[in-house]
Structure 1
Amino acid sequence: MRSGFAPALLALSITLAAAPVPAQQPLPPIRDMETLVVSGVQPGPGMWKISRDDHTLYVLGTLSPLPKRVEWESRDVEAVIAQAQEVIQAPSVSIDGKLGIFQRLLLAPKALSARKNPDGQTLQQVVPADMYARWLVLKRKYMGNDRSVEEWRPMLAALELYDEAMDDIGLKQYGMVSPVVEKMARRHKVPLTTTRVTILIEDPKVALQEFRESKLDDVDCFSRTMQRLESDLEMMRERANAWAVGDITTLKALPYTDQNEACIKAVSQAQVLRKRAGDIEAKVRERWLDAAELALKNNRVSLAVLPMRELLKPDGYAAQLRARGYSVEEPGEPVGGARVTE
């Protein structure tokens, strides 16, 4: 799943620039896919169960991308929501400014120009030569002869390329899980708790101008996105299939190459945001963990949505709750078990 950081920046049209990094080692050539993407009605993964005493928080791990022709069979999750007192949404970031709609329209031309590299530079000028050669191969494969992105900042060009590639190989990045969970919560009249961190830009005109003129170290994001498209597509499909059929063992076993962390780091360390919001990543993490602990204190049953990587990482959100003294059971564990059946 793409992080909330990048869409938030795009929504406000605050975009990123690049700084050169050392050349990467040669990578294997692009391989055509052979793994078929599953389709039809699929169960998805079981839920993690985080508990203390007789209070339980069920956590559904999400993954991006997922097979775009899959219909998620969500009965188990709905069974939890039907008895829950709260549903906690996935962690995210939004950026807002004190602007009326007319002011937003006036800023639109400047905002669109902010996605371009400072000083009119092209991608070829701001990334290493070997990296740009790899970009041309991938762009030709997934975007044809589109020249519009050649002036974009590396991170935004990479995100556009990634979106096109996912569509071509039968995967979808958004809208598969969270909207379904939120719809079920509303149907059962269960309160939804947002864990979104909102960064309020008090001086949007100044901030936008700062960003237009600034550079940011997003070449790592650019490089890792290309690396993932060059060498990880087969495993990406396997992970998507494993999530769809609920195969947690395979999800844990497959190496997880994720460019999102590099892209999130590039955004969160942007000076224009950091001096206005501080450590964004830490705020996002603490907001979700605080909501989870409050739910475990107040509710007999709650449900939360969280990126799968935060459930599987040794230092992820689930591990941090375990360190705080909560019991954490993975799907399929013999004690209790996180999957709820009707």
Structure 2
Amino acid sequence: MKRSMRICAALVLLAGVCGPLDAQEAGDDAGPVRDLETLVVSGVQPGPGLWKVSTGSGHVMWVLGTVSPLPRRMEWEAREVGGVIAGAQEVMLAPGIDIDADVGFFGGLALAPRLMRARRSPDGRRLEEVLSPGEYARWSTLKRQYIGGDRGIEKWRPMFAAARLYQEAVEDVGLRTRGVVTPVVEDLARDHGVTVSRPMVELKIEDPKAAISEFSAAEIDDLACFSKTLDRVQDDLGYMRERANAWAVGDIEGLRSIPFQPFEDCEQAWASVQALSDRVGDLRAQRDALWLKEVDRVLANNRVTLALLPMEELFRPDGLAASLQARGYRVEAPGEYDAASPMDAPTPDDGVAPPAG
């Protein structure tokens, strides 16, 4: 039985989730780090209200803005979303990118050592040799705080080391990056027998071994990515916590006021890898174009659709919500539409349930 080998996803997971190549060794001395309180909301929380995207035909797409990370001990109530799904014809998950290589189960096992090596610095240099003295000192302090005495990570490429640091720091302050929203939405759709779709740019790597080998040997301009990620860990964890709390309690204005820190430097670092760019092109542009095409489809065919979309795409002046307005759709934030308007009110035969309030 064959399975898909997600090349880019696997490389990211190696940096942020998998253990080090070498055994962890203790012995680093403690250093001065800022004590960051980790008070985040817990228990059952309502989450934010829904955006409304509508057409003159009366068809509506309700959009739930998502953020990551979210409180680790929070249980999302999802009552409003559940009411929409009950009367919807389709649930559209957040857009994504799937880069795979059909190599079979044993082929995937054979590639695993190559993937493990891909996160290492190709010339064997350690982080202390790659980074400036000041940047390495900053890294060492944050590493002691959130990772501990792992010496193997010192042999990683900067972008992979930074990704691991980010993941550990997020978990340390009581947050998590996955498993809060999408599983609940999928379960609700399954309970109501509603179709689930996901706009997914699917690109197949025909020669995965060659791609990984090229990546392993490639020079990557990832020092800006590394530095910005350290900035986020030093300065943005408080914002992440506030953002997570605001999402949990449904504070839209609070979410608007908290700055988002995009990972553009890291995206540019990935884009600089010739071994990947030659094969896949501009993935973000492809993803956005596919999502907009899917929105056209669901608004033409469905009376009611629920869609998930990263919150920054709803807030940014050049985000996907702005693209929808440019295409002639009406986009309204929570509180800007009348939930009891004729367009939203269910009729005896359509089963459409609008969000409450």
What TM-score does the superposition give when structure 2 sets the normalisation length?
A: 0.85
Structure 1 residue 162 displacement after superposition: 1.0
Q: Which residue of 1 aligns with 2:36?
A: 33
Alpha-carbon displacement from aligned partner over 1:86-136 (angstroms, at most 9, x marks no partner): 111111112211312222222222221111011112122223332221111
Structure 1 unmatched runs, 5+: 14-28
8 A contact 1:31–1:231 mirrored in 2: no
Q: Which residue of 1 aligns with 2:268?
A: 265
Q: Which residue of 1 aligns with 2:192?
A: 188
Q: Summarize the Cα distance change of 1:109–1:34 in structure 2 as closer, same or farther, 3 Å threshold.
A: closer
Matches within 5 A, 1:5-154: 7-10=9-12, 31-34=34-37, 36-53=39-56, 54-154=58-158
Structure 1 residue 161 displacement after superposition: 0.7
Q: Secondary structure at the match of 1:274?
A: helix
Structure 1 residue 52 displacement after superposition: 0.5
Q: Summarize the Cα distance change of 1:12–1:242 in structure 2 as closer, same or farther, 3 Å threshold.
A: closer
Indicate yes or no: 2:315 matched with 1:301: no
How many residues in Structure 1 have an aligned counterpart in Structure 2?
323
The CA distance in 2 between the partners of 1:268 and 1:278, in whole Å, is 8
Structure 1 residue 142 displacement after superposition: 0.7
Alpha-carbon displacement from aligned partner over 1:203-236 (angstroms, at most 9, x marks no partner): 1111111111101222222111110111112221
The CA distance in 2 between the partners of 1:248 and 1:216, in whole Å, is 38
Q: Which residue of 1 aligns with 2:173?
A: 169
The CA distance in 2 between the partners of 1:287 and 1:151, in whole Å, is 38
Q: Summarize the Cα distance change of 1:275–1:308 in structure 2 as closer, same or farther, 3 Å threshold.
A: same
Q: Secondary structure at the match of 1:217?
A: coil
The aligned amino acid for 1:322 is: Q
The CA distance in 2 between the partners of 1:297 and 1:271, in whole Å, is 39
The CA distance in 1 between the partners of 2:322 and 2:39, in whole Å, is 33
Q: Which residue of 1 aligns with 2:245?
A: 241
The CA distance in 2 between the partners of 1:326 and 1:289, in whole Å, is 11
- Aligned match of 1:201 in 199, 205, 210? 205
8 A contact 1:65–1:166 mirrored in 2: yes
Q: Which residue of 2 aligns with 1:340?
A: 355
Identity %: 52
Q: Which residue of 1 aligns with 2:23?
A: none
8 A contact 2:12–2:163 mirrored in 1: no
8 A contact 2:8–2:99 mirrored in 1: no
Structure 1 residue 336 displacement after superposition: 4.5
8 A contact 2:11–2:119 mirrored in 1: no
Runs of 4+, deviation exceeding 3 Å: 8-13, 334-339
8 A contact 1:114–1:212 mirrored in 2: yes
Structure 1 residue 187 displacement after superposition: 1.4
Indicate yes or no: 2:280 matched with 1:277: yes
Q: Which residue of 2 aligns with 1:19?
A: none
Structure 2 unmatched runs, 5+: 1-5, 16-31, 345-353
Indicate yes or no: 2:255 matched with 1:251: yes
The CA distance in 1 between the partners of 2:102 and 2:260, in whole Å, is 39
8 A contact 1:87–1:192 mirrored in 2: yes
Q: Summarize the Cα distance change of 1:334–1:50 in structure 2 as closer, same or farther, 3 Å threshold.
A: closer
The CA distance in 2 between the partners of 1:38 and 1:12, in whole Å, is 30
Relative contact order, higher structure (CA 8 A, sep 6+): 1
The CA distance in 1 between the partners of 2:75 and 2:183, in whole Å, is 13
Structure 1 residue 268 displacement after superposition: 3.7
The aligned amino acid for 2:175 is: L
Q: Which residue of 2 aligns with 1:320?
A: 323
The CA distance in 1 between the partners of 2:337 and 2:90, in whole Å, is 26
8 A contact 1:56–1:302 mirrored in 2: yes
The CA distance in 2 between the partners of 1:202 and 1:5, in whole Å, is 11
Structure 1 residue 141 displacement after superposition: 0.6
The CA distance in 1 between the partners of 2:39 and 2:208, in whole Å, is 46
The CA distance in 2 between the partners of 1:196 and 1:224, in whole Å, is 28
Alpha-carbon displacement from aligned partner over 1:229-274 (angstroms, at most 9, x marks no partner): 111122211111100000000110112223x332233224421121
Q: Summarize the Cα distance change of 1:293–1:30 in structure 2 as closer, same or farther, 3 Å threshold.
A: farther
Q: Summarize the Cα distance change of 1:64–1:12 in structure 2 as closer, same or farther, 3 Å threshold.
A: closer
Q: Which residue of 2 aligns with 1:330?
A: 333
What is the root-mean-square deviation in Å for CA atoms of aligned residues?
2.2
The CA distance in 2 between the partners of 1:104 and 1:6, in whole Å, is 14
Q: Which of structures 1 and 2 has the bigger CA Rg?
A: 2
Q: Summarize the Cα distance change of 1:198–1:169 in structure 2 as closer, same or farther, 3 Å threshold.
A: same
Q: Summarize the Cα distance change of 1:5–1:286 in structure 2 as closer, same or farther, 3 Å threshold.
A: farther
The CA distance in 1 between the partners of 2:135 and 2:338, in whole Å, is 49
Indicate yes or no: 2:214 matched with 1:210: yes
Alpha-carbon displacement from aligned partner over 1:278-314 (angstroms, at most 9, x marks no partner): 1111111111111111111111100111111111111
The aligned amino acid for 1:341 is: A
What TM-score does the superposition give when structure 1 sets the normalisation length?
A: 0.89
Alpha-carbon displacement from aligned partner over 1:140-198 (angstroms, at most 9, x marks no partner): 11111111211111111111111111111111111110111111111111111121212
